Structure 1
C-alpha cells in the first residue's frame, strides 16, 4: 500500500530537453508514490515493463531513455556519467516530482547511488538492481578488452540501431562509457559514495555471469556487498535471485517490486 505524496498528475509521454539533447520519457501519472527507473547502460525503458505491471497503477512510474538510446532520445556530444546523473534531475524537474523512489539496474544502479547520495532530501529510498558493486574490476588490460569487444560488435550494432535495440553511440563512445563506469566502480571511488548514503537502500542481486564477463568474475564482484552492508546500516541485500544479470528484470521482477515497496514503506514510517 502506498501513500499519496503528490497531487494527481495526468499520464504523459514526450521529450525532455536537457543540455544539447532531448530524452524520450513516459510518466504514468496518478497520485501514487513516484518511482523513477534508471536503465542499464545501453538498455531502454521498456526493460522495466514487468516491474511496472507488478507494482500496478497505484504507483506513479517514470521512465526514460538515456541519450542516444532507444528509438527517440536524441544524440549528444556528452555521454559521460555526470551527464547521466544530470539527466535524472532534468526528468524529475520536467515532471514536477520533488521526491521519488529511485530504482536503477546495472549502469543505472551506479547512477542511482550517486544521485541519492547527492540528493537525500529528494529520495524516498533506492533499489539497486545488480549494479553499484565497489570492486576493482577495471585496469588497463580490461580497458583494452572492452575497446576490442565494442569494435568487433560495431557492424552488428549498426544494423540494429533502427530498431532501438542498440544505442546510436559509436563503438568508441560505447567503450569509453563502459570504461568510465569501470573506474567509477572501483572500491576507492564507489565505496565512499555507498558508505555516505543516508536513505533506505536495497540491493537485488543476480546470479551467474553477464554479457562480456568471464568465469566467476561477476560473482566475485558481487561479494563486495558484504563490506558495504557491514559499514552502512541503511543498505541491505533484499534478495539474491536465480536469474543472471540480463534476465532478472524479466524473470525475477517480484523481488524488485518487493524491495521498492519496502523502501517506500520505510520512508512513510519515518515521516
Structure 2
C-alpha cells in the first residue's frame, strides 16, 4: 500500500517568486492539476469533488495567478520550472498530470521530455497541434488584450486573469500559439497513456472555422501515436468544460488510472 501523505498548503519558492500549493494528502494515486493560461487552481474544485478521497490531489497557482507572487518571467519554460519545483517540494515522483488548455500543453511537453517521470496525462481541451501565428495574428491578439485591460483586476479576482499587464497577457498567449503550432512532434514522443477530453461548443474569441481546423489537427497525431486517445467529447465550450462537464473529466481520469498498470499500445 502507498504511504499516506499529510495534507498541506503553503508557498513553494522558485526563481524570483513563490507559488501557492495545496495538497490534499492521502495514500491514493497522485493527480497534479495544471491550470489554463491565466486561471487559478479553483477551477478544479468540481473535478476534485467528483473524484473524492480516492486520490491525492495537488493544485497550485502559476506566477501572478491566484495567491502566487509576481515574477519577472512568465514564459513557458518558467512554467516547466514551476512544475518541477512543486513536484520536488511535495516529493512526487510519477504523477498523473491533468492539464486544462495551456496546462494540457505543459503536461504534454513534460511527458515528452521526462518519459519516466509521468504515469499518464489527461488533456482537458488542450495540447492540440494548432496555433495562430504570424504578424497579423500577433497584432490581433495584442489588440484583444488591450481592449480587455480594464477588466483584468476584476477577472483576476475571479480566477480568469493574471496580475499582469495587457501586453504580458498577450505575450503568454502569443507564445502559446507559437508552441501549439509546432506541437505535433512533441505529441509523437509521448510514451505514456495520454487521454483527451474535447469540448465541442463555440468558444469566445475563436471563429468557428478556426475551431474546426484546430480539432481536425489532432487527428493525424492520434493516428500516429497509439498512446494518445480521445476519452470523451463533451458539449460545453473551452471556458466552461471544467464547470459543466466535471463528471466527464473525472470519468476519464478514473479510466486512465484503472487498472494500475494500464498502458496503451
Q: How does 1:96-175 map to 2 (within 5 A)?
A: 96-161=91-156, 164-175=159-170
In structure 2, the CA distance between the partners of 1:161 and 1:208, relative to structure 1 (3 Å rule), is closer
Shift of 1:161: 4.0
Shift of 1:222: 1.1
Between 218-227 and 78-87, the greater mean CA deviation after superposition: 218-227
| Cα-to-partner distance string for 1:192-233 (whole Å, 9 max, x where unaligned) | 000010000000000122232123322320111111110000
Between 48-57 and 246-255, the greater mean CA deviation after superposition: 246-255
Q: Could you say which residue in structure 2 is the equivalent of 1:93?
A: 88
Are residue 42 (structure 1) and residue 35 (structure 2) matched? no
Q: Could you say which residue in structure 2 is the equivalent of 1:78?
A: 73
* Secondary structure of 1:223 counterpart: helix
Cα distance between partner residues in 2 of 1:266 and 1:117: 23
Contact kept, 8 Å, 1:137 with 1:221, in 2: the verdict is: no
Between 216-225 and 90-99, the greater mean CA deviation after superposition: 216-225
Contact kept, 8 Å, 2:131 with 2:179, in 1: the verdict is: no
Q: Could you say which residue in structure 2 is the equivalent of 1:204?
A: 197
* Secondary structure of 2:13 counterpart: strand
Cα distance between partner residues in 1 of 2:253 and 2:198: 14
The one of 13, 21, 25 aligned to 1:25: 21
Cα distance between partner residues in 2 of 1:253 and 1:160: 22
Between 24-33 and 131-140, the greater mean CA deviation after superposition: 131-140
Are residue 259 (structure 1) and residue 243 (structure 2) matched? no
Contact kept, 8 Å, 1:208 with 1:219, in 2: the verdict is: no
Contact kept, 8 Å, 2:39 with 2:159, in 1: the verdict is: no
Q: Could you say which residue in structure 2 is the equivalent of 1:68?
A: 64
Q: How does 1:172-251 map to 2 (within 5 A)?
A: 172-186=167-181, 189-251=182-244
Q: Which runs of 5+ in 1 are unaligned?
A: none
Q: Which runs of 5+ in 2 are unaligned?
A: none
In structure 2, the CA distance between the partners of 1:184 and 1:98, relative to structure 1 (3 Å rule), is same
Q: Could you say which residue in structure 2 is the equivalent of 1:58?
A: 54
In structure 2, the CA distance between the partners of 1:266 and 1:123, relative to structure 1 (3 Å rule), is farther
TM-score (norm 1): 0.93
Structural RMSD (CA) = 1.5
Contact kept, 8 Å, 2:129 with 2:217, in 1: the verdict is: yes
* Secondary structure of 2:257 counterpart: helix
Contact kept, 8 Å, 1:107 with 1:181, in 2: the verdict is: yes
Cα distance between partner residues in 1 of 2:158 and 2:178: 31
Cα distance between partner residues in 1 of 2:224 and 2:191: 12
TM-score (norm 2): 0.95
Cα distance between partner residues in 1 of 2:135 and 2:260: 42
Between 149-158 and 160-169, the greater mean CA deviation after superposition: 160-169
In structure 2, the CA distance between the partners of 1:216 and 1:94, relative to structure 1 (3 Å rule), is same
